[in-house]
């Protein structure tokens, strides 16, 4: 009788426990929003041209003109928005790919998608003349739309090859990562071949483009990145239940009515598009898609209803803080943020690799 009463009490407590569990996840998301807002304000204030919070607010309200206005609207705000959009895109792409491929090491960087996009962008920049460098050292883009298209086609080649190998040869998740490494090497070799035949200015543009840097995009590029990121994020959130079903296994997902092959294909294509757009405008920013989903899983669990939007927020916070640190650590020299994220991501990758093989 006592056992029955205890069981009944536990059953009655389940809704309250679930509400408390959900509330913790939502609270974590709100904390990230606050951190993102404060990080953006700090990023607007620091740099070679130091500003106060009052000056920043006056510029944003339209009360200031002159140099302060130019610094905020033409240099720092585009950089901050680029960090937020790229962080969201890469983090969400990594979270979805880890679910689709059922591999904790999957990300746009480790699967070769970033390198494929870099190869496509290199073809457009060097061979077709859609971008380059001036003698003054300024990097420019003539046709951002075509560079994005070529970057997407390069990323698509890598995705199609890996998915075909997985389907035809039944590759394990570990083997798919190795296939991604092989595709990365192939695309890197192709990019180096293009660099070998480039002239001095083209070579300077290419080498600079391989570094992930958030200082390149202007408002036009920001609009393009935003126009692609928002629908993709909405689609991933809409498919959150399908991704939860995939986490339970192929057969379980099919029994729940999920078209697993179509879900995987569309998810990989959209993740590739998000990655290619960022690479086309920013260069390769590695390991954001690997680090962010794992840290979010540790904090709130693996429920994709919360994992996708909170990974997007965490990616924005991580990339914005990393870029602010890269701008100020050895000022006035500005380090490319891709170097910093690689330093952070490489130890995390090794840790996950050892943990996976230990299991």
Q: Residue ranges per domain, the chain? A: 22-351
The predicted structure's pLDDT at residue 219: 87
Mean pLDDT computed over 145-174: 78
* pLDDT tens profile 226-265: 999 999 999 999 998 989 888 877 788 888 888 888 888 8
What pLDDT does residue 7 have?
Answer: 47
Q: What angle do CA 344, 203, 272 make, to 5 degrees?
A: 50
Is the confidence at residue 292, as pLDDT, over 80? Answer: yes
Q: Which CATH architecture has domain 22-351?
A: Orthogonal Bundle (1.10)
More confident residue, 174 or 339: 339
- Is pLDDT above 50 for 5? no
DSSP string, 240-251: HHHHHHHHT-HH
* C-beta of residue 144 within 8 angstroms of C-beta of residue 213: no
Lowest mean pLDDT among 21-30, 50-59, 194-203, 267-276: 194-203
**Looking at the chain, which runs of residues are DSSP E strands?**
131-133, 139-141
Closest C-alpha among 50, 25, 85 to residue 281: 85
Distance CA 115, CA 109 (A): 7
How confident is the model over 265-294, as a mean pLDDT? Answer: 85
Q: What is the separation of C-alpha 228 from the centre of its chain, rounded to a whole number of angstroms?
A: 13
| Whole-number percent of the chain with pLDDT over 90 | 18
Least Cα distance to 122 among 193, 28, 41 occurs for 193
* 86 in Cβ contact with 213 (< 8 Å): no
Residue 233 host element (H or E): helix 219-238
Q: pLDDT by residue (tens digit) across 337-352?
A: 888 888 877 777 777 7
Q: In sequence order, what are the residues at sequence separation of 6 or more whose Cβ sits closer than 8 angstroms to the Cβ of residue 232?
A: 89, 92, 270, 273, 274
pLDDT band at 138 (very low <50, low <70, confident <90, very high): low
């Amino acid at each position: 009788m006592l056992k029955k009463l205890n069981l009944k009490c536990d059953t009655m407590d389940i809704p309250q426990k679930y509400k408390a569990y959900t509330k913790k996840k939502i609270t974590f998301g709100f904390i990230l929003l606050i951190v993102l807002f404060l990080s953006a304000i700090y990023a607007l204030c620091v740099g070679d041209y130091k500003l106060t919070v009052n000056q920043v607010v006056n510029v944003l309200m339209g009360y200031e003109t002159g140099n302060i206005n130019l610094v905020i609207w033409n240099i720092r705000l585009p950089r901050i928005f680029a960090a937020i959009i790229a962080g969201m895109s890469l983090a969400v792409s990594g979270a979805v790919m880890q679910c689709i491929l059922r591999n904790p090491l999957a990300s746009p960087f480790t699967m070769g998608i970033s390198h494929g996009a870099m190869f496509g962008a290199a073809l457009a920049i060097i061979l077709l003349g859609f971008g380059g460098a001036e003698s003054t050292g300024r990097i420019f883009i003539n046709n951002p739309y075509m560079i994005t298209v070529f970057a997407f086609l390069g990323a698509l080649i890598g995705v199609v090859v890996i998915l075909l190998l997985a389907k035809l040869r039944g590759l394990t998740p570990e083997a798919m990562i190795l296939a991604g490494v092989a595709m990365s090497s192939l695309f890197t070799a192709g990019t180096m071949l293009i660099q070998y035949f480039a002239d001095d200015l083209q070579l300077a543009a290419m080498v600079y483009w391989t570094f992930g840097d958030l200082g390149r995009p202007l408002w036009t590029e920001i609009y393009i990145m935003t126009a692609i990121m928002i629908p993709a994020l909405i689609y991933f959130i809409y498919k959150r239940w399908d991704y939860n079903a995939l986490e339970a296994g192929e057969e379980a997902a099919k029994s729940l009515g999920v078209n697993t092959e179509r879900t995987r294909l569309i998810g990989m294509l959209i993740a590739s598009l998000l990655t290619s757009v960022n690479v086309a405008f920013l260069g390769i920013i590695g390991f954001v898609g690997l680090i962010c989903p794992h840290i979010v899983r540790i904090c709130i669990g693996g429920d994709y209803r919360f994992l996708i939007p909170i990974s997007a927020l965490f990616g924005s916070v991580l990339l914005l803080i990393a870029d602010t640190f890269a701008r100020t650590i050895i000022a006035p020299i500005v380090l490319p943020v891709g170097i910093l994220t690689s330093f952070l991501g490489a130890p995390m990758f090794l840790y996950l690799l050892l943990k996976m093989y230990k299991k």
